[in-house]
Amino acid sequence: MDTKSNKYYLTTAIPYVNAPPHIGHALEFVQADTIAKYHALKGQEVFLTTGVDENSIKCVQAAAKQNITTKALCDANSNSFREFVKSIGMHYDAFVRSSQDEAHWNGVEKLWNMCMDSDDIYKKTYSGLYCTGCEAFYTQKDLVNGLCPEHLTKPDVVKEENYFFRLSKYSGRIREMIDSGSLVILPKERKNEIIGQIDEGLEDFSISRSNERAKGWGIAVPKDESQKIYVWFDALSIYLTSIGFGSNEQKFKSLWPADMHIIGKGIIRFHAIYWPAMLMSAGLEMPKHIIVHGYVTSKGQKISKSLGNVVDPMAMIDKYEVNAVRYYLLRGIPTFEDGDFSENDLIAANNTELVANIGNFIHRTMTFAYKNYKGELKSKNAIDKNDMEIISRINLLIDEFDADMSNFKIGRGLNRVLEVSSIGNKYFQDNKPWELINADRDGCEKVLFVCIGICKALSVLLYPYLPDAAEQLAKSLNTNIELLQGAKILPQGEVHINEPKQLFKKIEDAKAI
């Protein structure tokens, strides 16, 4: 088998560490982890890159406000991000700290030199409007009432000598790549947004900052110690350096190009315009998909550090446990749109769906089977027509789940999981095994055999969303997480289950913060 054809390489955005993580980061990390685990269920070799963006002016300024060194700030907040990623249940294969990873620095310099060799980097003096929150220059037409449209702050007027990248040279090629579908941007509205920006005309952009403004923090421009490489040129390179660019070319060639970058809509221009142009200049392959999620909002307003309405995701996990938080983010926040975060909605989703639907079916099936059959069941009787219809419906839902997830429809995929557990609940209720156990023990065993088959399917379907719970269920079923097609229910066989444990807890008398 061609190992490269079986790989799936995806990345999160690389967040700034001028402050600890907020709930918007949680959404992206959970979405990326869910997509990664889905592709693992497909039997692919998955590699997930994440990390933190430390070489920014905003980190320098945040450290100055706290009267600490920039390194001290980055150390503290980067550790917070690493711990948070672990707490939210995201598995990663590479976590890069842009200020600390020597292999990353070497890769950034290599990319710079490749673009320089293509005659796409030049130096000039420039004056413009700079938003430190975005780490980007704006023109007057980009502003809304004189303010940055993203952070609602007045940009600074900056004049200095910088290196520039010839973005204008690549506008036609970027447009052609998007039109042809060789680079897929989802959802369609974001694709149209980028096409509109290209059609308005692309201007060359600054890719360095003076040492004076950067306070000496960041990666030096090759052969020019007076300048630091622009934070976005640096941070985007993590997608390359994390898989060996500049340090392990064999590994890099086996994983690049990226199959998916998952990002927030506020940084789409950097990923869908700047990044493809930089890769073209260096002669590197393009990523295949850019998936753009919306914002987590609070009362309709974007949640962000800059706006001061941050929701602490660690507090949410401590208060409600990780299963409830992951479930709500994937269920309550649309994949491609803005979604309002509400603790009351989180509680309702946990109690009425995760506990009362999915958890209820699994718990009643597993505890009844373990108590009455000591976990040993066989399909002794022929599966009747009604059971075959149930089995066929479940297996069809698995195929529909597969189709949804292959198209990044995370919420719809979770709907399929709920449908499967709803079918299981109805089947259990209709067949009344608590009565059948006394009248027809073999018939009761057949009913439970089907129900346990549904539990097995749920262990697989839940895995991308709630991996810890899915693995605990698989352990109770005395099995491992199957590949996706292995989740389909077979009409004959036997099962041996272990003593089950309750997967989900109802949130009692919770008071929203």
Active site residues: 22, 25, 131, 134, 148, 151, 302, 305
Q: Which residues of 108-136 are buried (b: 16+ CB within 10 A; e: fewer)?
A: bbbbbebbbeeebbeeeeeebbbbbbbbb
Nearest to 470, CA basis, from 481, 479, 483, 484: 481
Is 80 exposed, middle or buried, given 0-12, 13-18 or 19+ CB atoms closer than 10 A? Answer: middle
3-state secondary structure of 418: helix
The enclosing H or E element of 127 equals: strand 121-131
Structure tokens at 433: 């095994």
Q: What are phi and psi of 247, to 5 degrees?
A: -140, -30
| 242, 248, 253, 256: CA torsion to nearest 10 | 10
Strand partners, 290: 185, 261
* Residues 6 or more apart whose Cβ sits within 8 Å of residue 110: 245, 246
Rg (Cα) of the chain, in Å, rounded? 26
The torsion defined by the Cα of 82, 290, 281 and 224, in degrees rounded to 10, comes to -30
Sign (positive/negative) of CA torsion 104, 105, 110, 116?
positive
Name residue, tokens 């079916």: 361
